[in-house]
Amino acid sequence: MRKQSLAKIIISLLFIIFILVVSLNSKEFRQRLDLKQENNNAEYSLNEEGIIRSEDAEKIIKDKASEVIQAISSMDFNELAKYVHPEKGLRFTPYTHVDPENDVVFTKEQVRNFFKNENEYLWGHYDGSGKEIRLTPEEYYHEFIYSVDFINAERIGYNEVLSSGNMLENQFKVYNNPIIVEYYFSGFNPDYEGMDWKSLRLVFVEHQNEWKLTGIIHNQWTI
């Protein structure tokens, strides 16, 4: 009898512990979900140029942008595809000027299979020489997406232009009310006096109360 009573007590205690663990985990999950929802639905104001203010943009997109740059840096485009705009897809711009007519755009599925795709695409033209940029997606990744270790960028800007060259800056005109996150290095070799700066911009636009990735803009010093 004593053994049976002890067994019942132990079972009851284990059940109580189980309920407490489930309850705590559920509470933590709800808090995370609420925080993510709060970020997605965060209110924002516009600056004098009609662009979402930098401080508001950072609050809304910082966590999501961190997840996206992590996926890009690790070449996990299966993960990256989860963030891509389901209708607009993902536009790739090799230099800062966005060309809606000629920039390559991939669907979510094409992004998912990015590194399996061995076809060559015309991504644009090289600055200076004007030669065609004909590369496979993987070649383009190394030259015009993750050309340096952007996840450890010197500076990160939210709807603020940290870099600029001789090309026209038009991303805020092409994309409708975007949040653009820029990962920026001011240079690498002191002998070049800053002419070897590079940056990567991630463009997010709102879709059904969520911010979706719709553009990747590579930027560097141009002639």
As a dihedral over the C-alpha atoms of residue 148, residue 151, residue 155, residue 157, rounded to 10 degrees, the angle is 110
As a dihedral over the C-alpha atoms of residue 134, residue 135, residue 141, residue 145, rounded to 10 degrees, the angle is 0
> What values do phi and psi take at 51, rounded to 5?
-110, 145
Q: For the chain, which residues make up each domain, given as ranges?
A: 1-40, 54-220
Whole-number pLDDT of residue 192: 78
Helices and strands in the chain: count of H runs, count of E runs: 6, 8
pTM value > 0.95: no
CB 148 within 8 A of CB 198: yes
Give the N- to C-terminal CA distance of the chain in Å, as an integer: 90
2-55 tens-digit pLDDT: 555 655 655 666 666 555 544 445 544 444 444 444 455 568 999 999 999 999
Whole-number pLDDT of residue 97: 94
* Alpha-carbon separation of residue 137 from 69, 106, 198 (angstroms): 17, 10, 20
More confident call, 199 vs 5: 199
For range 57-75, the mean pLDDT: 98
Strand partners, 181: 158, 202
Q: Which amino acid appears at position 117 of this protein?
A: N
Whole-number pLDDT of residue 35: 44
Write the CATH number of the domain with boundaries 54-220: 3.10.450
CB 142 within 8 A of CB 72: no
For range 59-71, the mean pLDDT: 98
Percent of the chain with pLDDT over 90: 69
140 contacts: CB under 8 Å, gap ≥ 6: 92, 94, 121, 123, 133
Whole-number pLDDT of residue 124: 97
Whole-number pLDDT of residue 201: 97
Which of 10-19, 129-138, 160-169 is predicted with the least confidence, judged by mean pLDDT?
A: 10-19
More confident call, 71 vs 21: 71
